Amino acid sequence: MKTRAAVAFEAKQPLEIVELDLDGPEDGEVLVELMATGICHTDAYTLSGKDPEGIFPSVLGHEGCGVVREVGKGVTSVAEGDHVIPLYTPECRQCAMCLSGKTNLCSAIRETQGKGLMPDGTSRFSYNGRTIHHYMGTSTFSNFTVLPEIAVAKIREDAPFDTTCYVGCGVTTGVGAVVNTADVRPGDTVAVFGLGGIGLNVIQGARLAGADTIIGVDLNPDREEWGRRFGMTHFVNARETGDVVAAIVEMTGGGVDYSFECIGNTDVMRQALECCHKGWGTSVIIGVAEAGATIETRPFQLVTGRNWRGTAFGGARGRTDVPKIVDWYMDKKIEIDPLITHRLSLEEINKGFELMESGESIRGVVIY
Ligand code: NAD
Ligand code: AHE
Ligand code: ZN
């Protein structure tokens, strides 16, 4: 079949809207019609050419929502007509990682996913006979995509596509980092570095978990109002504050219980660790930095009881946890609607990237 898609033919170049050929689902795979997709900073990171797993040409996008249109042989967990969210972190429930009960990092198809291929080592996308690669196992910048059954979460049908797509990455990553990875408790103090599409969801996750003090840090002063809207209690303007670590340690009488880095800046990762309370404070890295980048701190920071952690997809087990996060949204425990600041057509997708880079948008969503 044919599908309209925004293709990244080369790093650092605008996406091009073309009609691709798409092969149907093989055994254990499903064909999904995407209804909407968010644009996440990770898409921009890969397009920048800094991602060692960035392969060109490819169809980027990993924050989608749509409807199953066809299922391959042997598919049992979803059927035609089901509403689903594609999962860049699948959940096979059979690999050693899934069975460990200690991580959401399913290993079943990670190797081929990182090579831009389906589990059988081939691509379903092509253009004029030339292979176009998949991305993060999802490729949601295409109106139709093919996914392994283990990489879709079935969700309720009354959830609107244009907002629920954000659960495919940003919402789950931010809220999940708080409730799954960090396990923030009522009364805790929290610092969030970077108040964009991820950081604002960390803030609302911290509010949901009952944190008392939620400090937001950003260079962009416009983000103060956004942070307060979602539960932030204090704002630190990183551009105007000489020593951000000292400021947070002073504000909290010794440091925070938990901090989250939601930028991808290794200098800020150090600040996020060092503003944690001696003896127990835990810093969670969410931001993605390029291959070769390293984090630094004085080992004494860890000797004296601070913990450094990281999280992917908010520690969420996709098929199990994503439908629950959609329920939280529909039950108004968390908010998504105000964060979708821009709705765009596929033809406007490059504008969506510009709005994100300039700090004008929180989330831009492409509606098919
Ligand atoms: P975004 O562009 O929407 O937000 C980034 C925010 O950081 C902006 O508000 C910006 O003003 C602020 N900022 C930039 N430099 C800063 C600095 N030096 N000090 C303070 N604030 C600064 O991006 P996003 O979509 O929220 O993504 C954030 C990061 O999270 C990216 O690195 C992305 O790749 C990563 N990410 C990781 C996961 C995961 O599973 N670990 C999932 C999604 C996104
Ligand atoms: N290929 C990248 C990986 C970047 C990365 O860490 N991705 C996150 C998701 S970001 C979503 O916006 C992730 O899931 N990591 C775990 C994994 O297995 O990739 C690079 O930099 O190498
Ligand atoms: Zn993302």
- Ligand 2 atom at shortest distance from the alpha carbon of 45: 21
Block mean pLDDT (10 aa), the chain, length 368: 98 98 98 98 98 98 98 98 98 98 98 98 98 98 98 98 98 98 97 98 98 98 98 98 97 98 98 98 98 97 98 98 98 98 98 97 98
3-state secondary structure 43-87: HHHHHCCCCCCCCCCECCCCCEEEEEEEECCCCCCCCCCCEEEEC
Residue 328 located in a structural domain = no
Residue 330 located in a structural domain = no
Ligand 2 neighbourhood includes 89 CB (under 6 angstroms): yes
Ligand 2 neighbourhood includes 42 CB (under 6 angstroms): yes
Verify that 252 and 294 share a domain, yes or no.
yes
Ligand 2 neighbourhood includes 53 CB (under 6 angstroms): yes
Verify that 231 and 197 share a domain, yes or no.
yes
Number of domains within the chain = 2
Verify that 155 and 180 share a domain, yes or no.
no
Ligand 2 neighbourhood includes 52 CB (under 6 angstroms): yes
Residue 144 located in a structural domain = yes
Report CA(96)–ligand 3 centroid distance (Å).
25
Ligand closest to 312 (CA) is: 1
Which residue numbers are catalytic? 40-42, 62-63, 92, 95, 98, 106, 110, 169, 363
What value of ipTM does the predicted structure carry?
Answer: 0.99
- pTM (2 d.p.): 0.98
Residue of 262, 355, 357 with the most ligand 1 atoms within 8 Å of its CB, for mutation: 262
Report CA(193)–ligand 2 centroid distance (Å).
19
Report CA(267)–ligand 1 centroid distance (Å).
13
Verify that 101 and 73 share a domain, yes or no.
yes
Closest residue to atom 15 of ligand 2, CA basis: 312
Verify that 107 and 199 share a domain, yes or no.
no
Q: Over the range 181-213, which residues count as b (16 or more CB within 10 Å of their CB) and which as e? A: bbebeeebbbbbbbbbbbbbbbbbbbbbbebeb
* Phi, psi angle pair for 159, to nearest 5°: -80, 125
Ion ligand 3, residues whose Cβ is below 5 A away? 40, 42, 169
Could you tell me the residue range of the domain that residue 252 belongs to? 174-311
